[in-house]
């Protein structure tokens, strides 16, 4: 077998590209200790640094088969323009998921008001940058901000992405402040819809998953990052049983490999259920492509080619190539 197989490119629905710089650093401790190192890296970002490092990051994504990316962006408006320039230079479809941040984090993350945040979104749209709304989390955004952002996203038909239930502490804090869990708060404040993507949902309980299903929202799983950070793993079987759509993200970019994200997702489901093939090969490619594209509001994104002569595909019959790529190949089977 030789030649190549043309397939749609993968869609990376959740990336913080600057965090690529942290790979191999910040070992030990827990999520919150990692977060301190991450914040220091975020603090030193400049438009020039973003322009250079993001182009390299996006080139790596393209080489791995991702041809569209949602950049969950909280390091400033000039840096959002730099990210757009980097994406154009690298040749990847970009959606800037511009982040609303009211409290916590660094000064540079925060807007004074939700009005200021929405003005920033407007300015990016006016510059021709494709955007989505992204209240960072219920940690970072009070309920009034969530309401206003949910309203704007609905009125303009824009994607809304939000981190939720990544860490138990965030759930405890939300219960203490609001008397409900993060995804319940998002539902109450008008932030759950079919345009919503909940990033992680690692520790979501049954009632929260029911809400995601009832609103037709999507979950973005980031298995390699969730493993790296010790977050836990997606309740994959409970998500599947509810018919909730799943997409994937490289998130912290500790690994840039869509096949590995999909393999991990299926591996988690197998460990949870004791069954094999919990998700079909078609399901998994859908998570890696079409669901991600819908989550970002992207209609068209470039195709890729799989190298059928690659050493890790030797001896594989043509009808098994796609399944074998997820089961047993790294992203270097993608022709770069
Ligand atoms: Zn994230």
Could you tell me the distance, in angstroms and rounded to a whole number, from the CA of residue 136 to the centre of ligand 1? 8
Residue 171 has pLDDT above 60, yes or no: yes
What pLDDT is stored for residue 206 in this prediction?
Answer: 98
CB neighbour list of residue 32: distance below 8 Å, 6 or more residues apart: 169
pLDDT of residue 336: 82
| Closest C-alpha among 114, 198, 96, 109 to residue 152 | 114
Q: Which two tokens stand for residue 42?
A: 């975020």
Confidence grade of residue 2 (pLDDT, cut at 50, 70, 90): confident
What integer pLDDT is reported at residue 28 of this predicted model? 72
Q: What DSSP line would sit under 254-320, residue for residue?
A: S---HHHHHHHHHHHHHHHHS-S-SS-HHHHHHHHTHHHHHHHT-----EEEEETT-GGGTT--GGG
pLDDT, tens digit, for every residue of 86-129? 999 999 999 999 999 999 999 999 999 999 999 999 999 999 99
To which H or E segment does residue 238 belong?
Answer: helix 236-241
Which of 165, 231, 251, 257 does the annotation list as catalytic?
251
Catalytic site residue 251? yes
User: Is 332 labeled as catalytic in the residue annotation?
Assistant: no
Ligand 1 mean position, distance from CA 317 (Å): 38
The per-residue pLDDT for 70 is 98
Residue-wise pLDDT for 34-86, tens only, equals 899 999 999 999 999 999 999 999 999 999 999 999 999 999 999 999 999 99
Q: How many CB atoms lie within 10 A of CB 24?
A: 7
Given the residues 81, 200, 215, 310, select the one marked as catalytic.
200
Among 37-46, 185-194, 243-252, 261-270, the least confident range:
37-46
Report the pLDDT value the prediction gives residue 1, as an integer from 0 to 100.
57
Give residue-wise pLDDT tens across range 140-163: 999 999 999 999 999 999 999 999
At 165, is the pLDDT very low, low, confident or very high (cuts 50, 70, 90)?
Answer: very high
User: Which sign, positive or negative, has the C-alpha torsion 123, 124, 127, 130?
Assistant: negative
- For residue 328 the two structure tokens come to 């047993």
Count of alpha carbons within 13 angstroms of residue 38, beta-carbon side: 22
Report the pLDDT averaged over residues 24-30: 78
For residue 107, how far is its CA from the centre of ligand 1 (angstroms)? 18
Say yes or no to pLDDT of 240 above 90: yes
């Amino acid at each position: 077998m030789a030649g190549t197989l043309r397939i749609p490119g993968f869609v990376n629905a959740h990336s913080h590209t600057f965090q690529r710089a942290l790979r191999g650093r910040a070992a030990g401790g827990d999520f919150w200790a990692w977060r301190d190192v991450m914040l220091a890296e975020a603090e030193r970002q400049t438009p020039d640094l973003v322009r250079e490092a993001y182009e390299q990051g996006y080139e790596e994504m393209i080489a791995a088969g991702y041809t569209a990316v949602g950049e969950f962006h909280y390091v400033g408006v000039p840096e959002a323009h730099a990210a757009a320039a980097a994406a154009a230079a690298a040749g990847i479809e970009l959606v800037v998921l511009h982040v609303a941040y009211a409290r916590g984090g660094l000064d540079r993350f925060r807007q004074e008001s939700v009005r200021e945040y929405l003005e920033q979104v407007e300015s990016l749209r006016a510059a021709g940058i494709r955007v989505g709304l992204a209240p960072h989390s219920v940690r970072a955004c009070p309920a009034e901000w969530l309401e206003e952002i949910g309203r704007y996203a609905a009125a303009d038909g824009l994607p809304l992405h939000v981190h939720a239930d990544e860490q138990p502490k965030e759930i405890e804090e939300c219960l203490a402040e609001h008397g409900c869990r993060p995804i319940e708060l998002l539902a109450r404040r008008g932030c759950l819809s079919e345009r919503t993507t909940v990033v992680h949902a690692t520790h979501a309980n049954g009632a929260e998953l029911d809400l995601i299903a009832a609103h037709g929202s999507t979950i973005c799983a980031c298995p390699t990052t969730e493993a790296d950070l010790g977050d836990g793993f997606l309740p994959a079987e409970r998500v599947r049983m509810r018919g909730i759509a799943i997409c994937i993200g490289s998130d912290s970019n500790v690994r840039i490999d869509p096949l590995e994200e999909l393999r991990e997702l299926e591996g988690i489901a197998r460990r949870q259920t004791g069954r094999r093939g919990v998700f079909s090969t078609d399901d998994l490619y859908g998570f890696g492509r079409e669901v991600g594209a819908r989550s970002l509001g992207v209609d068209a994104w470039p195709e890729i080619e799989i190298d059928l002569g690659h050493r890790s595909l030797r001896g594989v019959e043509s009808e098994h190539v796609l399944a074998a790529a997820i089961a047993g190949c790294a992203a270097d089977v993608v022709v770069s």
